[in-house]
Amino acid sequence: MEVCFIVDFGSQYTQLIARKLRELGVRSEVFSPKLSLEEIEKRKPLGLILSGGPSSTTDKDAPALSFHLEDLKIPVLGICYGMQWMVQDMGGVVAQGKSREYGVEKIIVSGGKLFQGVNSLNVLMSHGDHAEKLPASFIEVARSQNDVVAAIEHKTRALFGLQFHPEVHHTEAGADILRKFLVACRFRFDWKAEHIFEEMTKTLKAQIGNSRVLCALSGGVDSAVVALILNKLFPGQIDCLCVDTGLLRKNELKNLIDLFDRKFHFPIQTIDASEEFLKALEKVVDPEVKRKTIGRLFIEVFERESKKLKNIQFLAQGTLYPDVIESMSFHGGPSVMIKSHHNVGGLPERLPFKLVEPLRDLFKDEARRLGEYLGLPHEFVWRHPFPGPGLAIRVMGDVTRDRLSILREADERLQEVLREAGIYEKLWQSFCVYLPIQSVGVMGDQRTYEDLIAVRCVHSEDGMTANIAAIPLEVLEKISSRIINEVKGVNRVVYDISSKPPATIEWE
């Protein structure tokens, strides 16, 4: 399969580069600067992208490749720090600029293969250093209004440098610039769902063979896609196990069981551990203690129940590529540890199973498209993200059965109104939060003193940052009306208007 390598020099946008390439139909993989020339020659990528980063190329310990670009025979695109490293490596000079450029700036284009038909662009800049003197083999093809070199190109080779970030939505024609680079690499743009599944099938067949697999189902999209893939490829070899923590959304477990039983005809084993979880969460109000309590108990229940199954050799999880990337230090390379919010974090170290992660090369949207390609219903596949600890971190304070019930009913009304208004799929995430605050209200001729529900709706690309969703007032009014009128115990609804940062998306 054709692939483009991305070297991560520590940019906050490295994942975004990888995602943009995938969206354009090209498989991408992220590496630390320790990537060797031997690895490149072995894997034969068609192109290489050098990311931005927080360092200065003039620093003593600045991150750098272990080889020179003169020794590389494939096209290379340097972005921000990546361009500065390219300039320095090829014999040019990088220096601290008199004026730094942070934010959207206008650049004037004078030529270049990546800018055909373009005279000027508004682009996102984020740098203090600049290319003071270009290598003799390069030409300038764009300059900012602050008189800083904004783009360069090798005179004879497919080597390109951009002082701005084409991967962010702030940059005009950024996707087109990346596409032109990929064309120069001679990609066929064939990273599609059907090709992903074909490659995945070969890998899994070789890995699993005739072995039995335990698939951990959380109720979310990722683990459901994994279950579907494995049952299609290995019918009769898969045991799907779902632990009911009592912290899922309304009817979530029932809908999951009905879906797989009715449409795909394979059973899911469920373990009702809700009493254990709710008892363990009694009087627990600290968010971190909640998370750790839920994680610890989940492992205990899963470990206990999995021992009842026979001849299990593999544990399947819904790990995604961002989990892999974020466990990587751009100085130190891949870490030995997956993030704590991993699907069933901690389990591989404690259970006598080998790990199988069919989605570990995919981003969230790719996993969703693959699920849809394999037959999962559109409305299930494109549901909003749901946190691993479930509704426990959407109930502020003490988690009780009554509070969970109120929250479930309120959240169901929110989702129904958003879908009816055609807004749901335009949002990254939407949910309700239960606040242990009572306020005065009036219902009929009587005074009430009841609970408060907060509504949260945001736009985001990857959850790293988020903007407030401007929900029309008439829709907000309908949300409030339905929750207050239909959910007993609630007399006030508020709308969260905080962006991330400074707030997080979830409240706990």
259: phi then psi, degrees, rounded to nearest 5: -60, -50
286 CB burial (10 A radius; 0-12, 13-18, 19+): exposed
Cβ density class 327-352: b for 16+ within 10 Å, e for less: ebebeeeeeeebeeebbbbbbbeebe
Q: Which residues of 405-438 are buried (b: 16+ CB within 10 A; e: fewer)?
A: ebbbbbbbbbbebbeeeebbeebbbbbbbbbeee
Structure tokens at 59: 């620093």
Q: How far apart are CA 105 and CA 76, in angstroms?
A: 24
Q: Among residues 66, 57, 140, 128, which one has the least CA distance to residue 98? A: 128
Which residues participate in catalysis according to the annotation?
Answer: 80, 165, 167
Cβ atoms of 169 and 181 within 8 Å: the answer is no
In angstroms, rounded to a whole number, what is the distance separating the alpha carbons of residues 260 and 239? 13
The dihedrals phi and psi of 126, each to the nearest 5 degrees, come to: -160, 75
List beta partners, residue 490: 451
Cβ-Cβ contacts under 8 Å for 197 (sequence gap 6 or more)? 229, 370, 373, 374
